[in-house]
A and B are shown apart, each in its own frame.
Chain A
Amino acid sequence: MKSKILAIAGGLLAATALASATAKAADVKIGLIGGVSGPIAAMAPAMIDAAQLAVQQVNEQGGILGGDKLVGVVGDSACNPQGGTDAATKAVNIEGVVGIVGPHCSGAVLAAAGSVTIPAGITVITPSGTSPEITGLKDNDTVFRTVPSDDYQGRALARTLKGMGYDKVAVSYINNDYGTGLANAFKSEFETQGGEIAGYAAHEDGKASYRSDLAELAKGGADTLVIFDYGDGTGLTILRQALENGFFEKFVGGDGMKSEAPIKELGAENLSTFVASSPVGEKSKSLDMFNEAFKASGGDPSAIFVTTSYDAAFLMALAIEKAGGDKAGVSAALREVSNGEGEPIMPGEWKKAKELIAAGTAIDYKGAAGDENFDANGDVPGTYALFKVAGDGFETITEMK
């Protein structure tokens, strides 16, 4: 019996060893780590599709390095620190990825970077980890993001709301790195602008009832509730219970709340007073090129974070090409391919970029979400807009400055 088990185990080991040996010869792997399950599950598929589009374009236009195939290995961070660490460990140690696009949520990024990728020297580009905490990470220049920090979003949202006549609001935020970072930035700017925060409380994810939380927040007398949470998760429960019980009249969400789930579950007719902010691509030729390509591959270009996901994956591919496949050189190469100097490369122009890199010419990637020129902390500046619910989707009200 024992020898039989040993034989089976040995056979399995040999099979997996063979499989990974053949895979290594021809594939360059990058990790695509996202919140496939968990509170942003509804957003994650489009984001991963956008990243896979970049991978597909690379493979269609001659492949990476010496004609190798670029493979995006999808991992699930479940949008939490443990999940992020597990997925990153698997990507780095088992899959042997050269770089990671993701994880999607700030907490997962911080945990995965701190315990896995920084020690391993793997470069990480997150398309949606927006917490201000990521800016200050001691990362040996290996953690980048193609999405602007929430410090900026929180402040821009505060200014825009104040400008639109919201004077007294209550804030309810999810108790994680994303919610805390965004809420703090919002609060400090809203108060600086002369607005009043009449309630300010964190809430824990995944509880069945938030009515007592909402009642506490409503005590301050504000008619507007600002929710920094995820629209597929607890944010939906809070929005539902606030609407049903009439605690507040108007609702404002951050980028996490700009999800289809509230519209689908609560009905657009109930969300006439709901607005949400979200990063938007500045109108550019790059954005048009991405939109066209993503539409052609069956994706929805207006879905949240697809442009940043695409840019992150395409930049990763460019950096790997530039670094010659050496994972230690990816972060330096990443800065070289998008520092604002050199021949501009648009989304999808992989063949051109590959030729220029081979010829030793400097290139500069102009991304779909913006120019993606990283600052010293690996952050990018951003543009935001405020959206309202219209029909079964979102419609822009105003740009946020």
Chain B
Amino acid sequence: MSILDFLNFYLIPGVVLGSIYALGAVGITLIFAILRYAHLAHGDLATLGAFLAFAVVTGFGLSPLAALPIAMILTAGVAVGIDKVFYEHLRERPKIVTVMASLGIALMVRSVVQVVWGVDAESYVRGIVRPENYFGLRIKDREIYTVVFMLALVGGLQLFLARSKWGKAMRAMSDNPNLALLSGIDNKKVVILTWVIAGGLCAASGVFLGINTELKSMMGWHMLLPMFAGAILGGVGRVEGAVLGGLIVGIAEELSVLVLPSEYKAAMAFAILLFMLLVRPTGLLRGKVL
């Protein structure tokens, strides 16, 4: 196998897949850091985002990339709504109750998608796109968009968390909610903000998965395990860790085919998850929560 083959068929697909996982993993890690529970409806929220973008694409004839911001805003709204209706009154109860509730939300969101858009596979653009050749590297435009957008979104989020007033409030609440409350931070607003960001990132990961493959009602659910693996691998509560973790999981899945029979590809994320929890549960970048 030449080095170009390795890059084209193993590494580049891995990076693209990893970017999609990373977008979801960042949302998971944020929710873990601020609200302290595993949000199992994350995958299906991504599906919803992808299909909302699909509705915009078919309804207004926009390109999927133009539909992305609209889908992100809509999904963020849905995420905030779900929090208000289902999770808010469970806030003081043991966290496991909310985790289970989020599993129920996952099923509900998926069913809504299936009722509204049906269960057939759909795609944003009909037909196939052959990759461009860059000095032997075969890359499609949409793969470049995926990676660039992921980096831009996460970079923006990092800046926001580090510099802005509300970003600092989020970090404060992540460190110690009671202390944050005492120092005058409105916890409710921080929670809403968290859901807006997580919902938007969720939609982005769903849309990019849809752009790179097809839209299916189960697409997000299948991504849930790799996204969690990415978040835990990078260190729960660390945004840059989630990006790193997501990329590693994506690349590991694609590279696993070189050494393992391909039917075990799906087990790769699971293996990484188990291994990390055994060896270094705090994650590569030493997460703040676990």
User: B-contacting residues of A (Cβ < 8 Å)?
Assistant: 36-38, 41-42, 175, 201-204, 206-209, 211-216, 219, 232-233, 236-237, 240, 243-246, 261, 264-267, 269-270
A257 to B122, CA, bound (A): 16
A245 near B121: Cβ-Cβ < 8 Å: no
What distance in Å separates the Cβ of B64 from its nearest Cβ neighbour in chain A? Answer: 14
Question: Which residues of the other chain, A, contact B118 by a CB distance below 8 angstroms?
Answer: 41
A68 to B216, CA, bound (A): 41
Question: Which residues of the other chain, A, contact B59 by a CB distance below 8 angstroms?
Answer: none
B16 near A203: Cβ-Cβ < 8 Å: no
Q: Is residue B140 within 8 Å, beta carbon to beta carbon, of the partner chain? A: yes
Closest to B267 in A: A204
Q: Which of A207, A212, A232, A265 contacts B266 (CB 8 A)?
A: A207
A243 near B128: Cβ-Cβ < 8 Å: yes
Q: Knowing A37-B217, A204-B263, A240-B213, say if A265 contacts B9 (CB, 8 Å).
A: no
B window 218-260: CB within 8 A of A = 218-219, 222-223, 253-258
Question: Which residues of the other chain, B, contact A41 by a CB distance below 8 angstroms?
Answer: 118-120
A204 near B266: Cβ-Cβ < 8 Å: yes
A265 near B262: Cβ-Cβ < 8 Å: no
A208 near B213: Cβ-Cβ < 8 Å: yes
Given A261-B120, A265-B122, 19 further pairs, Cβ under 8 A: A36-B119, A37-B218, A42-B121, A201-B262, A204-B265, A206-B218, A212-B13, A212-B265, A213-B257, A215-B5, A236-B214, A237-B214, A244-B128, A245-B130, A245-B138, A261-B121, A265-B123, A265-B214, A270-B128
Question: Which residues of the other chain, B, contact A243 by a CB distance below 8 angstroms?
Answer: 128
A211 near B9: Cβ-Cβ < 8 Å: yes
B128 near A203: Cβ-Cβ < 8 Å: no
B123 near A209: Cβ-Cβ < 8 Å: no
Q: Is residue B87 within 8 Å, beta carbon to beta carbon, of the partner chain? A: no
B120 near A208: Cβ-Cβ < 8 Å: no
Question: Which residues of the other chain, A, contact B258 by a CB distance below 8 angstroms?
Answer: 212, 216
A183 to B263, CA, bound (A): 14
A244 near B130: Cβ-Cβ < 8 Å: yes
A215 to B257, CA, bound (A): 9
Closest to A219 in B: B1
Question: Which residues of the other chain, A, contact B131 by a CB distance below 8 angstroms?
Answer: 244-245
Q: Is residue B149 within 8 Å, beta carbon to beta carbon, of the partner chain? A: no
Question: Which residues of the other chain, B, contact A246 by a CB distance below 8 angstroms?
Answer: 130
A55 to B225, CA, bound (A): 42
B261 near A202: Cβ-Cβ < 8 Å: yes
B17 near A208: Cβ-Cβ < 8 Å: yes
A233 near B223: Cβ-Cβ < 8 Å: no
A355 to B218, CA, bound (A): 48
A237 near B213: Cβ-Cβ < 8 Å: yes
A207 near B265: Cβ-Cβ < 8 Å: yes
Question: Which residues of the other chain, B, contact A201 by a CB distance below 8 angstroms?
Answer: 261-263
Q: Is residue B187 within 8 Å, beta carbon to beta carbon, of the partner chain? A: no
* Chain B 4-33 per-residue mask, 1 if CB under 8 angstroms from chain A, else 0: 010011100110110010000000000000
B120 near A266: Cβ-Cβ < 8 Å: no
Q: Which of A37, A203, A209 contacts B13 (CB 8 A)?
A: A209
A212 near B257: Cβ-Cβ < 8 Å: yes
B254 near A209: Cβ-Cβ < 8 Å: yes
B9 near A208: Cβ-Cβ < 8 Å: no
Question: Which residues of the other chain, A, contact B128 by a CB distance below 8 angstroms?
Answer: 240, 243-244, 266-267, 270
Question: Which residues of the other chain, A, contact B140 by a CB distance below 8 angstroms?
Answer: 244
A245 near B209: Cβ-Cβ < 8 Å: no
Q: Knowing A244-B128, A246-B130, A265-B126, say if A216 contacts B121 (CB, 8 Å).
A: no
* Chain B 81-110 per-residue mask, 1 if CB under 8 angstroms from chain A, else 0: 000000000000000000000000000000
Question: Which residues of the other chain, B, contact A208 by a CB distance below 8 angstroms?
Answer: 17, 20, 209, 212-213, 219, 222-223
Chain A to chain B: the 8 pairs with minimum beta-carbon distance, closest first: A215-B9, A41-B119, A206-B222, A204-B266, A202-B263, A212-B257, A211-B13, A175-B263
Closest to B118 in A: A41
Q: Knowing A233-B216, A244-B129, say if A212 contacts B263 (CB, 8 Å).
A: no
Question: Which residues of the other chain, A, contact B120 by a CB distance below 8 angstroms?
Answer: 41-42, 232, 261
Q: Knowing A209-B254, A213-B257, say if A203 contacts B263 (CB, 8 Å).
A: yes
Q: Knowing A38-B218, A265-B126, say if A207 contacts B263 (CB, 8 Å).
A: no
Question: Which residues of the other chain, B, contact A233 by a CB distance below 8 angstroms?
Answer: 121, 216
B window 109-135: CB within 8 A of A = 114, 118-123, 126-131
Question: Which residues of the other chain, A, contact B253 by a CB distance below 8 angstroms?
Answer: 207, 209
B138 near A203: Cβ-Cβ < 8 Å: no
A211 to B16, CA, bound (A): 11
Q: Which of B127, B218, B254 contacts A267 (CB 8 A)?
A: B127
B213 near A209: Cβ-Cβ < 8 Å: yes
A214 near B9: Cβ-Cβ < 8 Å: yes
Question: Which residues of the other chain, B, contact A42 by a CB distance below 8 angstroms?
Answer: 119-121
B window 68-85: CB within 8 A of A = none
A265 to B265, CA, bound (A): 25
Question: Which residues of the other chain, B, contact A240 by a CB distance below 8 angstroms?
Answer: 128, 213-214
A215 to B114, CA, bound (A): 33
What distance in Å separates the Cβ of B203 from its nearest Cβ neighbour in chain A? Answer: 16
Closest to B223 in A: A208
A207 near B126: Cβ-Cβ < 8 Å: no
What distance in Å separates the Cβ of A393 from its nearest Cβ neighbour in chain B? Answer: 16
